[in-house]
Structure 1
Amino acid sequence: MFLFICSAIGFQSFALMYICFLHVILQKLNAMNPKPEIFIICGDLVDAYPNKFPKIRDAQIKDFKEALAGLSEEISVICVCGNHDVGEVPTHQTVAKYNKDFGDDHFYFWCKGVLFIVLNSQYYVDATRVPDLKKAQDNWLDHVLSLEERKKAKHTIMFQHIPWFLHQWYEKNVAIDVKNTLRTKQLVVYECDDQTTDVLLNIEKATRLSMLEKLHKAGVNKIFCGHAHFNCGGYYKNMEIVVTTAVGIQLGQDKHGIRLVQVQENDIKHKYFKIEDVPENINLIDTHEPKDICKETDTPKLTFNGLKMNFFKSILTLIGCTRRSPPPPVYLISFSVCKR
């Protein structure tokens, strides 16, 4: 089984929230029996952009790594690259810094006969300054999908930060109106057919459709994503896109939590849990919950879930947490059911 925690806070002043929740989540993971095989952080490992707040970013990276040092050695950690990790418009410098701090921005690995593919989704949003890196990832992906052993995989599962779509594969480009969101204190989104300088919540439609068809033809079963700060998702033919909300700031009505994914011989099941409801026995997952998929008519509202300062103080006292880090996206994966 794998665990997924998705999306950084996106608000610098609330960066401490994530690291506090991360400590609590790691305590719960360490108490699980049996333990999941993989803990996947699905992008926005830190909040501070590499080209805007380098000193704050370095401090957040330190906090992030110190927190993960408390995770049981029985659980492997996988990091996925997000827009906060390489910038909205990545450069060779920001990608190189990510590689130095966290490792490769795209790679694949096997676990118990299942193939996992990790992509840098920012190349599909804006690669104007790194066209060579995007081309290299595309060539690499074509090679991985054509591997003879991949055709024998029990499942092929993909992870990326930005989802191809939020609800439906044919939806328009969806962007956050940042100025009005900050002004009105609720999430303001709009649809557009053209490029925008605002932050996209999905990937541009023309790129999306060609990639979805390629991945579906190659036999990818599920694609797990973050970025949106609310639970949503849908299907392209029989390939499911699962978007999991943030550990920190919520832009919808979801509570802070993680997604547990149970990989079985002939099926992949997943379920979202509030942090306080994370079970000690990961084999309790029966099925994924359709209610996690937002309705097309849902308009998530910006909410801080009523968090008060005394809550932070009690958390800090409990876990001895200090300083300044944000909430990254994470998936926890366990293959305990897939051991035959």
Structure 2
Amino acid sequence: MNACDPALAAARRVTLLDTAVASTNLGDQIIMEAVRAGLRDVLAGTFVTSVASHDRLGPKGRALIRNADVAIAGGSNLISSRMWFRSVWKLGLRDAFLSMNTVLMGIGWYQFQNKPDPYSRWLLRRVLHPTALHSVRDSHAKAMLAGIGIVNVVNTGCPTLWDLANPARPPLPTCKAAEVVTTVNTYIKDPAADRRMLEILKARYGTVYAWIQTAEDGAYLRELAQGIEIIEPSLAAYDELLTSARDLDYVGNRLHGGIRAMQKGRRAIIVAIDNRAQEMGRDFALPIVARTNFERLEAMIAGPLEIAVRPPLGDIAAWKAALARTIHGPAAGD
């Protein structure tokens, strides 16, 4: 497009809060890929820039936010009851006066926590768009926001789920595969439970592969078990394994490791270790099992296992239409 084109001059400006930048978790790359795919139609004709959500805003980032019509926070567990302490979303006091007009897209709550403290309530109400429709990824996050008076919210699930109900997708396998890829999670360790999970996988599958989603996972895995084939710690290497001709299941502790496997057509069992998998599993029929329910895990592995993830397509469509109106004006979402 020519720089003198009136369409370019009139383009609305949107800044994405990129949760994959400055993140130590490769799962955030999976999330941001889905965020950009989910926004593709809505953001057609807009001028889009990005800043990091996981790092403090500098002068350039603040300028991008200030000049944007809307900021969109994409995925991840960005919101906390204590936004001043170990918060994933690195907001400072001065950011509250930036007129951020942030719209949430599939955001989760940091953990199961008590109600937000006064500073966090004030900060969230300052940085979130006051009238736009926000999207969260589970019922818990929606209830927590409602508790501080933010009720213009729909539960759409994480954007990584949105395409799993696409009728063009073939059904996921129901029967056990010959091999398995796993993940462990050093964020919430339980060595006894994780060791038992790996023992089950080694007994039930011919080959056990492991994908390392954070740098610390590899050393933890080696402490737990031997005889596991660790693949290169990159999303590209994980995708290569998932799209290979191998007869492969996924069974592991990482939520988005399991979601990625389903995106690539693999049978998956997500071993739930925190609020994210528990809440999304309950809301959208993810194939989850409690960390210490080994009898249930063995039964799910043996199969047959029917997987039919149910993202709320009506709420997703309503959120997209509302976002289009917020960005482009009332007629855009009609």
TM-score range, shorter chain: under 0.3
Larger Rg: 2
Q: Name the structure, 1 or 2, with higher relative contact order (CA <8 Å, separation 6+).
A: 1
